[in-house]
Structure 1
């Protein structure tokens, strides 16, 4: 079996699964795809493959609703901080040894799972949001640049703000779109975004969209809460594998 065919089958399976997760839960495509691809290739290559399917699905999520102006007006300081710090942090993803980039990714996945399973629901007051949102953006950008995953700490932070569900979904879309665009620019500035990678990334859009369609069908038949619990356990296993990989290799 040729390397191109193997890569094609790998990408189809990965992005179909990741798209299915996003279709059921409304998020998780980059997290699941990075977790799977990060076990098989360097995180910088995996992040480059994620760019186009992430942008397509996140822009759709961002524009699917009437609250775009509201979330931009409220969150622009944090988005600016995410943009700048992701551009700077992308150097970590390309220059650090791939095993330790994977280790960092594993740490982020485990932290995300533990938050999802154990953390109590928090409510952040308005004055705290205004004062600390840019700092959350800076940390999110550094983590995104270093690991290719933009969930910590921005996802729990957005969930703690006083937003209606539909507004929160568009806020996620805005954050993920900004993070993905900044990561793509950072990888390009570091010379890690080759045209060949761009082609594979574009081909990954179709299975991602097919997975989203499948996930929406599954959502009508399964409890999103139970599905999310299974997803978190799956991510925990992948995160632990990434954490142990550099410690077990010579």
Structure 2
């Protein structure tokens, strides 16, 4: 199936709506570094079959994460890997181990376990009750938060919010926060691509749609980058927290209603 076949099967209104959703998802990612898959699966899932919506986000998620991680150059990306190596190592180890526990805890319970503290953390931060982690305890805190992110990620596929919580609590500079998110989510994007090539979600019928989604995602991301570059550090941090609230509320919704 080629792109013409994919688009010819869609109503014009569906195609326009899907394009706008992808543009917006790319814009948010470019501005704050995360939440693109959440926006795409929620938005596209309301106008497309669930598996089609999932397939559509796979390739643009991988491409935008690579773009995000490498925006400052590959040397800077590698430096971010070294700077956050403890977080990354702990995350990957716990991700692999906790993946074996899938099915032990219900997905609804897990969404609530992630969503409730996430919203509480973000709301308290926005209200002025700032949580700051002591730089002297960085190795310990990175190991704990990285392990927490990996533990949740292995069972639910969601490790972005805990990552953002850590970056916010350490008041990471904008450029570093964006790069390390790109690296972490990029690793997950590769795993997602391989998993769904195997599962059949990404197949000859859905792959063209996913490839076509790369264009509007990158355009939206480019616009988001422009906003990001103009944001002061304090504004960037507040924007991340606001998106965290939305992400957390979405997880709570999924935990309560599926």
For the criterion TM > 0.5, the same-fold answer is yes
Partner residue of 1:69 out of 51, 64, 78: 78
Q: Residue in 1 aligned with 2:175?
A: 166
* Alpha-carbon separation, structure 2, partners of 1:60 and 1:27: 13
8 Å contact from structure 2 (residues 122, 242) kept in 1: no
* Alpha-carbon separation, structure 2, partners of 1:139 and 1:160: 15
Partner residue of 2:59 out of 48, 52, 71: 52
5+ long unaligned stretches in structure 2:
1-6
Deviation at 1:18, TM superposition (A): 0.9
TM-score normalised over the length of structure 1:
0.70
8 Å contact from structure 1 (residues 86, 145) kept in 2: yes
Deviation at 1:140, TM superposition (A): 1.5
* Alpha-carbon separation, structure 2, partners of 1:72 and 1:218: 25
Partner residue of 1:180 out of 174, 189, 214: 189
RMSD of aligned C-alpha atoms? 4.2
1:140 aligns with 2:149: yes
Structure number with bigger Rg: 2
Q: Residue in 2 aligned with 1:245?
A: 257
* Alpha-carbon separation, structure 2, partners of 1:31 and 1:214: 19
8 Å contact from structure 1 (residues 86, 179) kept in 2: no
Question: For each residue in 1:200-246, what CA deviation from the matched residue of structure 2 results, as whole angstroms up to 9, or x when unmatched?
Answer: 32222112122223445666999995994775665566445433324
* Alpha-carbon separation, structure 1, partners of 2:96 and 2:195: 5
* Alpha-carbon separation, structure 2, partners of 1:148 and 1:9: 29
* Alpha-carbon separation, structure 2, partners of 1:90 and 1:39: 29
Query: What SS does the corresponding residue of 1:158 show, helix, strand or coil?
Result: helix
Q: Residue in 2 aligned with 1:129?
A: 138
5+ long unaligned stretches in structure 1:
none
1:194 aligns with 2:206: no
Number of corresponding residues = 242
Q: Residue in 1 aligned with 2:122?
A: 116
Structure 2 CA distance for partners of 1:39 and 1:140, relative to 1, 3 Å: farther
Question: For each residue in 1:45-66, what CA deviation from the matched residue of structure 2 results, as whole angstroms up to 9, or x when unmatched?
Answer: 7555432212211111111115
8 Å contact from structure 2 (residues 123, 245) kept in 1: no
Question: For each residue in 1:11-53, what CA deviation from the matched residue of structure 2 results, as whole angstroms up to 9, or x when unmatched?
Answer: 4233122112223334322232244356678987755543221
Query: What SS does the corresponding residue of 1:27 show, helix, strand or coil?
Result: coil
Structure 2 CA distance for partners of 1:89 and 1:55, relative to 1, 3 Å: farther
Structure 2 CA distance for partners of 1:200 and 1:69, relative to 1, 3 Å: same
Deviation at 1:92, TM superposition (A): 7.5
